[in-house]
Amino acid sequence: MATHFFTDTTVLTGRTMRHITRSLDTILTTAITPIIMMLMFVYVFGGAIDTGSVPYVNYMLPGILLITIASGIAYTAFRLFMDMQGGIFERFHSMPIARSSVLWAHVLTSLAANLISLVLVFGVALLMGFRSGASFLAWLAVAGILFLVTLALTWIAVIPGLTAKSVDGASAFSYPLLFLPFLSSAFVPTQTMPGPVRAFAENQPVTSIVNTIRALFLQQPVGADIWTALAWCLGILAVAYIFASIAYRRRIS
């Protein structure tokens, strides 16, 4: 049964990945928006923001990476919605394949597409002067956190992809996710924010994730932030997976 699931998932992932490779503009669009933001913040606003001895491109890159992921998973919801509307799921379910493999194919495609976008953003950041003396293990930890964030947000994207009534509704959920980094430590220190805004910024998931990635890049102690970030990622992943599974069972029943 497990072999059947993995084989079916591999075949269906190949199908959705072909859609990506045939329309690379979606990946470029996903990467271009964060890149434009990075250029604007570094070269327009960066000089007015005090980040001490840390170059601003190093300071704000973790937030840009999260925005890249949030942009990418909007396309996951869109692709899933279009498959549902086109009757592809019904055709697959009439075949002798593992039902969950259809959903997992979209999830794995999201992970692959977001990886490409993140690499493009990293490349531009390097051209802009980003440098890090982080160890291999620190880079591995950053990769693991970004993987968990992408996986958690992808399962969130699955829910509107299955339940939305329109294509606009399927991708509109990503707007709050794009906005959250601006109310965190991603672009400015939280100490500069007014009281209520600071309280929200310091206790929402983006801040702990950004602080952890930034500390790993800068070879600084991560403290409790890494455990808070992991707790947020795993908690969101578990809740999103449960609700996505419920929505999927209802849709195919």
Question: What pLDDT does 140 receive?
Answer: 96
- Taking residues 161-173, what's their average pLDDT? 81
pTM score: 0.90
Question: What pLDDT does 226 receive?
Answer: 94
pLDDT (tens digit per residue) in 2-37: 556 677 777 777 777 777 766 666 777 778 889 999
**How does the average pLDDT of the chain come out, rounded?**
86
Question: What pLDDT does 95 receive?
Answer: 64
Query: Long-range contacts made by residues 199-203, C-beta under 8 angstroms, separation at least 24?
Result: none
- Least confident among 8-22, 66-80, 145-159: 8-22
pLDDT (tens digit per residue) in 187-226: 999 988 998 999 999 999 999 999 999 999 999 999 899 9
Question: What pLDDT does 185 receive?
Answer: 92
Question: What pLDDT does 93 receive?
Answer: 61
Q: Which residue has the higher pLDDT, 95 or 177?
A: 177
Reported residue count of the chain is: 253
